[in-house]
Structure 1
Amino acid sequence: MDAAIAGLVGALGGAALGAGGAWGAARIALKGAMYQADRQAASTHEQWLRQIRREVYARFLSQARELVAVMDESMHQDYPWESLSGEFRERVRREVSTGFARVEQTAQEMILEAQPSLSGLVEKFLDAADEFQTFMIGEGAELEGSSRMLARCTRQANEQLRLIVLQARESLQGSI
């Protein structure tokens, strides 16, 4: 009988230890599954944010390139800006004004979605384009030497756009 009780106590002790081990293993498995689900959700969220940024960046860059192309066109004439025909200057003014309005609207999305360093570049681009537009629409564009001022604004806008492209690529690749 002593052997039977000892066997029973041993069996109950083994069952208790086995149940505790199974419970511990199940708890570890649950924690692992929860961690994996959290990482999957975070990864999906990061991918979604990257896609949103990609779309905003692409829209802004497309519109900014169109605006810079108009600015470049006005600077790559054989004659100084102030000596070009009024019809040509009016067409460029309209295109710059329309392009700037589109870029300005998309820039607000960029500033909202982008990293701070990229937002700063977007603001500098807007400053250069706005200075070009303001100078062109105002009386300054009719003054002698205005081509130099417009060319400076165009160079600044081009340089900012180049830097924006580099920062946007880095941002989307996750290195910022």
Structure 2
Amino acid sequence: MNVLRLDDCCEILDSMRVPITAKDRKTGPYPYYGANGIQDYVADYIFDDELVLLAEDGGNFGSKEKPIAYRVSGKCWVNNHAHVLKPKPGVDVDYLCYSLMFYNTDGLVTGATRQKLTQIMMRKMQIPKRSIDEQRIIVNQLNKVLSIQKLYQKELSLLDVIVKARFVEMFGNPNEINKIA
């Protein structure tokens, strides 16, 4: 299969990132993103686009459950712990994100205690080269799977409520029993 290097399929906007220390942040409506998601909400923004953020340092590198990339949309601020990627024409933003979420970074990250994906190593990452139509088919299939997963999670949550309710019916409210004793 043909592949695309990351620096060939997206613009790397890292030079636009600006970290703000917690004490210097002014609270506001815009998400402030780091390596693994929203860190805070701030009063201003530096990006207003469809982007993929890829952990630079402190990311979930090597995890099978927690992704190293996520998609953001609209006005936001990004600190220096996440690489900022804007897909070039012909690359679907969701396809780019899905391609990177659980990317095998063995040999790409450095650091023993806090792993780091430098921009030089990130530029070497590759994603499968597919037509925009193929990308959208893949994205639609993955989106369906994720919505089914969310429905099952909601169902499990509701089943948990039912179990707790049945427990109270059968054994009484544990809080009330403790008050009597």
**TM (normalized to structure 2)?**
0.23
**TM (normalized to structure 1)?**
0.24
Structure with higher helix content: 1
Q: Which has the larger radius of gyration?
A: 1
